[in-house]
Structure 1
Amino acid sequence: MRVNLSMVGLYLAIIGSSMFYTLFVMWGVTEVIELEGGAYWVVAGVVFLFIAACGLRFYVPKLRDLW
């Protein structure tokens, strides 16, 4: 199996942008619900995984032709 290294950069870009969007979502969540300690990190992890999965599922196929 051959690894296309140019696609690795695309996946890293999607994961990095997912981290960025997670910050804004978590800011909104903490304004509505008071989260502290471990609960905050669990919710942040779930939000990140959801955004990253959606990004990898929907954006990567569209960006392959442009990358």
Structure 2
Amino acid sequence: MLPTFLLARDHLEQAAVILQGSDSRSRQLRHIIERTIGLMDEFQRKQPRRSDNVLDFLEFQRRRRDMED
């Protein structure tokens, strides 16, 4: 995982711990944070590292679409 992702994940985990209240807003924020952490983990698993210099045009187009959304 990239150092930036690790740092962001660590901060989100700390925020989730802080939001241990039982009120509805705390639960909603905690759920958003936990889902964001899950999405970060999923994003990292889906990105294979290539060791060659071959460009996969379908992958390039998919990433470009994702960045535009």
| TM-score bracket for this pair, using the shorter chain length | 0.3 to 0.5
TM-score w.r.t. length of structure 2? 0.38
The one of the two structures with greater contact order (alpha-carbon pairs below 8 A, sep at least 6) is 1
- Flag the structure with higher helix content: 1
Larger radius of gyration: 2
